[in-house]
Amino acid sequence: MALRINDTVPNLDLVTDQGSFKLHDFIGDSWAILFSHPKDFTPVCTTEFGAVAQLADEWTKRNTKVIGLSVDGVDEHKEWKSDIESYANAKAQFPIIADESLEVSKALDMLPAEAYLPDGRTAADSASVRVVFIFSPDKKLQLSMTYPMSVGRNFAEVLRALDALQASYGVPIAMPANWIPGDDVIVALSLDNEQAKATFGEIDIKLPYLRTTKQPN
């Protein structure tokens, strides 16, 4: 299935280097980020997973669990983690899904339904498996990003997007271009000016449809 914004993610069975469990049980009452990669022991993926490991404290501050995925096996994940940790000088404490059957990748529309893994595969055989999903505690998809093989993900941007999602979760605001935490936010169009003032206090009316206010605490 194609997973769209606000869809509830299927409660998939996951096999990882840290044991087997259901996706919904993993998410629990937290935010969660699922990030996939084409293949273990490849250069770009190692730098990406190293970046995730280095941000461990930042994920914890945001009540966010992270979980990786590739179509490699559990033993390969465990062996590869030593390379990740050596490169990043940080512990890779998050689980990595071993999606050897492609069930998770196909269920989340990361690979075509007819996809299969050839003998002696390369990263190019699973090139479409380079995705970021951010789920809220209600198990709904809040954001997705898809990257090509040649572009490593910027996890500072993933962190910024997570901050924006959490700040606006259930709050009638949106974030402007290049927003970072602490910047002014946009008042949702669902509020008229009086409602906006009653909700946020002072607002700055830049255009009839573009009103900003201080980021709510």
* Residues classed as catalytic: 45
* Angle separating helix axes 74-88 and 43-54, nearest 10 degrees: 70
Distances (CA, A) of 130 to 123, 157, 196: 10, 16, 40
How many Å separate Cα 167 from the centre of its chain?
16
Greatest pairwise CA separation for the chain in angstroms: 64
| Residue bearing tokens 């512990």 | 91
Give residues with Cβ within 8 angstroms of 2, minimum separation 6.
109
CB burial readout 102-122, b (16+ within 10 A) else e: bebbbbbbbbeeeeeeeeeee
